Chain A
Amino acid sequence: KQEVTQIPAALSVPEGENLVLNCSFTDSAIYNLQWFRQDPGKGLTSLLLIQSSQREQTSGRLNASLDKSSGRSTLYIAASQPGDSATYLCAVRLSSGTYKYIFGTGTRLKVLA
């Protein structure tokens, strides 16, 4: 059974810091991994999607990497800003035929001005 874990559960950093969020999964049989951002009480915004054949994806100040063999992904945020404060979720899409998404529990990020 696929399990997705995100560490740390919460993170507070001063503005301008570079930071790394971690996501680990137990089964490497995945099609892709997606990082989302969720603001309080809101839906999810897709940040980056990494296919299983890819190693990383970049969008602006965000860079996500994927190491399928070790079951790990990282989301790197450069020069953090208060507007980056949100909960960050990773999700893996199973390749077992069901294509289900399994979500991690999220990292709650607070960037202090």
Chain B
Amino acid sequence: KAGVTQTPRYLIKTRGQQVTLSCSPISGHRSVSWYQQTPGQGLQFLFEYFSETQRNKGNFPGRFSGRQFSNSRSEMNVSTLELGDSALYLCASSLAFLPTDTQYFGPGTRLTVL
């Protein structure tokens, strides 16, 4: 069974641009979560989607948004990029929106903002 895939793996953008990251969950998984990982703040929760609906949201500005499609694939978008948005963005999938589910992580997208 293929794992969680994220594209692209690396991305370089300049301040003010916008970026879209993609995540394909494990086949059969319907819940997708997004995290930002930086050396200073560690791993921080961005949002979680289940059945195309956002179920949870972390404490990030409105420049960060996401969506989930009917096939459970998810995208996150960051508009008006800032230097501080440079980070590893991780996506995780789980079977359903149940607190007992295990999360499986993808390899991440490394975003560098110049």
Contact = CB atoms under 8 A, between A and B. Distances in A.
B100 interface: yes
A57 B62 CA distance: 39
A9 to B, nearest CB: 11
Contacts of B97: 99
Contacts of A93: 99
A101 B31 CA distance: 14
Interface string B89-113: 0101000010110111111101000
Contacts, number: 54
Contact of B56 (A43, A44, A100): A100
B9 to A, nearest CB: 10
B64 to A, nearest CB: 15
B66 to A, nearest CB: 15
A91 B104 CA distance: 13
A51 B45 contact: no
A36 B105 contact: yes
Given A89-B43, A101-B45, A34 B102 contact: yes
Nearest to A106: B42
Interface of A: 31-32, 34, 36, 41-46, 49, 51, 89, 91, 93, 95, 98-106
30 contacts: A31-B99, A31-B100, A32-B100, A36-B105, A41-B108, A43-B105, A43-B106, A43-B107, A43-B108, A44-B92, A44-B105, A45-B105, A46-B103, A46-B104, A46-B105, A93-B99, A95-B99, A98-B56, A99-B48, A99-B56, A99-B97, A99-B99, A100-B48, A101-B33, A101-B103, A102-B45, A103-B35, A103-B42, A103-B43, A106-B42
Given A32-B99, A44-B92, A105-B42, 19 more contacts: A34-B103, A43-B4, A43-B6, A43-B106, A43-B107, A46-B103, A46-B105, A49-B102, A89-B43, A99-B48, A99-B55, A99-B56, A99-B97, A100-B45, A100-B48, A100-B58, A101-B45, A103-B35, A103-B43
The 4 tightest CB contacts between A and B, nearest first, are A31-B99, A103-B43, A44-B105, A43-B105
